[in-house]
Structure 1
Amino acid sequence: MMDSTAHVAISAPDLPTVRLALQRAGRAPSIHNTQPWRWEFDGTSLCLYRDNDRLLTAADPTGRQLVISCGAMLHHVRTVLAAGRWRTDLERVPDPGRPDLLARLTFRRWADPPEGIMARAAAIEARRTDRLPLAAPPGFEEVVRSARMLASPHEIELDVLDDRARPLLAEASREAGAKRRYDVDYQAELHWWTGHSPDREGIPRTALPSGAEAVHVPVARTFPTPPHSQRRGDIDDHAKLVVLSSAGNSLTDWLHVGEALSAVLLECTRAGLATCALTHITELAGARRSLEGLTVCDGVPQVLLRVGAAPADLTSAPPTPRRPVGEILTVLPPMARDMD
């Protein structure tokens, strides 16, 4: 006799739908564009794993930024699937014995997803990390209200820093860069992942500011400088500075941060604003303490965001490379079901 649960139809997207969703969601941001994620699909559930081979051992020895990156990819995947009318039920860190398994998704049909989800899914292709100077963002207060609402379900606080914080953060950014300048392992790691123009990962030279351009953006990570360029050389940076903070500093907190980061970035893109996520200030304890003193909430600062308005040249910026789906997805045989 067959168990009664075998009569229950399993609802899940087919493999081509999953592949397409991962291809689109692969535009998610990650530290140095390392794309440190792996997925497994068994026909019923989709599981996210961290790819420890892509851990930045000098810049990110605890894996905090790796997990934040995976959280951003997780939210991107759920957003794409929702736009395709698939609601996803999420279990975060489902197996304490497998710390590399970060999340498991199961599926239900969704007849009428909200308009906001559809708009944020459409924004995925348009989103870019803009490291050049930005003008003050129009309509910023309304975007912040929406962004706070989107971050709240992930238990992440969003603070907008006063302009008086800018020189303090610029100094913290310079100090962080100075402490890393003679760190051989950090510099080797940075140069490997940035500026060597790979075809599927890393940050290409075209996405990095030259020395002349970086002068106009004092709150930023110091990257290897490409040849001289003076894009937007006539403006200083007036981007708003936004901080995402978590209540704790656990692996699950980091995953929540990445999910909230994804939602906020896509909402800003939807509103026509440019963004740049910064994590270098929170990499070092001293720089993080300087940030803690500037936020209203009592949480742990995890990510600093620059949000502003960019000239029309942002729309013509080429997308940074991404790994093919075949490299990040493993297809497993369907799970066997018990029969008696």
Structure 2
Amino acid sequence: MADRELIEEAVTLASRAPSLHNSQPWRWLAFRGGLALFLDRKRIVGSTDEGGRQAVISCGVMLDHLRVAAAAAGQRAEIERFPDAGDPDLLATVTFTPAQPTAADRSRADAILARRTDRLPMFAPPEWDIVAAALGGAVGAPADSGVRLDVLDDGLRPELGRASSMTEVVRQFDPGYQDELQWWTTPFEYPEGIPRTSLVSAGESYRVEVNRSFPIEDRAERRVGVVEDEARILLLSTPGDTRADALAAGEALSEVLLECTVAGLATCPVTHLTELPDARSTLAELAGVDAVPQALIRVGRAPSDPLAEPIPLTPRRPIEDMLRFA
């Protein structure tokens, strides 16, 4: 049975999982023998995420991050998803058995801390065929989830850019969405939300066609040598649009982000194109998939510049705010 200190350390590390606007919509309950993961409804970003689909995806990323953190600490996580039909907010229970950690387990756990959401333009990822094959194998967990990973053709980039712009135009006249965006990117220091240091300038934003339009930060341009974004764009889709689909998509998103980080690549989840039903239909048609789009991921190479300002870590809530012991 995993002890209290190990559980606290694993949850702390797993909480580096990305979430919509860094809302961190999860809460954990430790019980004798394991953990229970709950959706925290109070942290659903209402106008942006009606129905809480993206919040469940975020919890799926957290769940897989916890599995990785536990494996590196010598504990194999046994996960039961949606164990109580009477409690839809109980997303999973996790129990632990001792297991010898491997070098790959430790590398993926290190990747949790190394990963950043990189909104800047990127170079094309090197040795992409090898990386893409590895990602295709990684997305198999959990078994029979039905999650599909597609690498979108570069020829679709102009159409994706137009779809991204049209989605932003629709959202421009949604006051609830705009208010939420401003709140979650406040210039004040909070243990949640996106700090202004993580936002981009107007010129940097202009060079990335497929990305959410966050408030513009007045700063000097970075990566001026990357004239246009060359990142490959991946699409995660699921057979349906249930909570189980969303949780599985989140777990697969975690796998992709960590595998790319281990390979030395930069990543950026992009979800504004999957928030509205019409936009999801357009995206499925563009990609030629008979499935429900759940998230896009930009994958590329960040320029090597020892003098460049590193992308900062986004804040996280204190462990006592997200974990309690029964």
Q: Given the two structures, how large is their TM-score scaled by the length of structure 2?
A: 0.95
Question: Which residue number in structure 1 is paired with residue 312 of structure 2?
Answer: 318
Cα-to-partner distance string for 1:268-310 (whole Å, 9 max, x where unaligned): 0000000000010011122212211233542211100100000
Among 218, 226, 236, which residue is 1:244 paired with? Answer: 236
Does structure 1 residue 119 correspond to structure 2 residue 107?
Answer: yes
Question: Which residue number in structure 1 is paired with residue 249 of structure 2?
Answer: 257
CA distance in 2, matches of 1:292, 1:216: 24
8 Å contact from structure 2 (residues 69, 109) kept in 1: yes
CA distance in 1, matches of 2:67, 2:245: 18
Does structure 1 residue 330 correspond to structure 2 residue 324?
Answer: yes
Q: Partner of 2:171: helix, strand, or coil? A: helix
Question: Which residue number in structure 2 is paired with residue 19 of structure 1?
Answer: 8
8 Å contact from structure 2 (residues 117, 269) kept in 1: yes
Residue type at the aligned position of 1:180: R
8 Å contact from structure 1 (residues 211, 225) kept in 2: yes
8 Å contact from structure 2 (residues 118, 311) kept in 1: no
Q: Partner of 2:114: helix, strand, or coil? A: coil
Residue type at the aligned position of 1:168: E
Cα-to-partner distance string for 1:119-142 (whole Å, 9 max, x where unaligned): 111111100000010000012211
CA distance in 1, matches of 2:6, 2:303: 35
For residue 17 of structure 1, report the CA deviation from its aligned partner.
0.7
For residue 232 of structure 1, report the CA deviation from its aligned partner.
1.5
Q: Partner of 1:165: helix, strand, or coil? A: helix
In structure 1, list runs of 5 or more residues that go unmatched. 1-11, 333-340
Among 168, 171, 183, which residue is 1:180 paired with? Answer: 171
Question: Which residue number in structure 2 is paired with residue 85 of structure 1?
Answer: 74
Residue type at the aligned position of 2:80: E
For residue 316 of structure 1, report the CA deviation from its aligned partner.
2.4
Question: Which residue number in structure 2 is paired with residue 37 of structure 1?
Answer: 26
Deviates more, 1:167-176 or 1:135-144: 135-144
- Cα RMSD over matched residues? 1.4
Note the 1:214-253 alignment, pairs <5 A: 214-235=205-226, 236-253=228-245
Does structure 1 residue 282 correspond to structure 2 residue 270?
Answer: no
Larger CA Rg, structure 1 vs 2: 1
Identity within the alignment, %: 47
- Call closer, same or farther: CA 1:315–1:96 in 2, change over 3 Å: farther
In structure 2, list runs of 5 or more residues that go unmatched. none
8 Å contact from structure 2 (residues 148, 237) kept in 1: yes
Q: Partner of 2:113: helix, strand, or coil? A: coil
Q: Given the two structures, how large is their TM-score scaled by the length of structure 1?
A: 0.91
CA distance in 1, matches of 2:87, 2:158: 43
Q: Partner of 1:153: helix, strand, or coil? A: coil
Residue type at the aligned position of 1:147: L
Q: Partner of 2:88: helix, strand, or coil? A: coil
CA distance in 2, matches of 1:296, 1:139: 25
Q: Partner of 1:176: helix, strand, or coil? A: helix
